[in-house]
């Protein structure tokens, strides 16, 4: 059990940290038009519950 606590758990923590660091720093290489949030468009197909009751 000592091997698990001394070697495997710290390696997994480091691996998760490095993946998160890579994911957040990858935004530098995304084109500027893709780095913005997605546009929100209102759909006409969606009806509100009050419209269906009438």
What's this model's pTM, rounded to 2 decimal places? 0.52
What's the pLDDT score for residue 54? 55
What's the pLDDT score for residue 6? 94
Q: What is the pLDDT of residues 15-47, one digit of tens each?
A: 999 999 998 888 778 777 666 777 788 766 655
Is residue 52 a contact partner of residue 45, using CB atoms and an 8 Å limit?
Answer: no
How many domains does one find in the chain? 1
Question: How far does CA 50 lie from the centroid of its chain?
Answer: 34
Residue 41 within a domain: no
Residue 48 within a domain: no
What's the pLDDT score for residue 31? 73
- Own/partner pairs, 19-24, CB within 8 angstroms, 24+ separation: none
The range of the structural domain enclosing residue 9 comes to: 1-26
């Amino acid at each position: 059990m000592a091997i698990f606590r001394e070697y495997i758990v710290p390696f997994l923590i480091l691996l998760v940290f490095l993946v998160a660091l890579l994911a957040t720093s990858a935004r530098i290489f995304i084109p500027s038009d893709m780095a913005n949030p997605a546009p929100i468009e209102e759909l006409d197909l969606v009806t509100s519950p009050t419209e269906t009751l009438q």
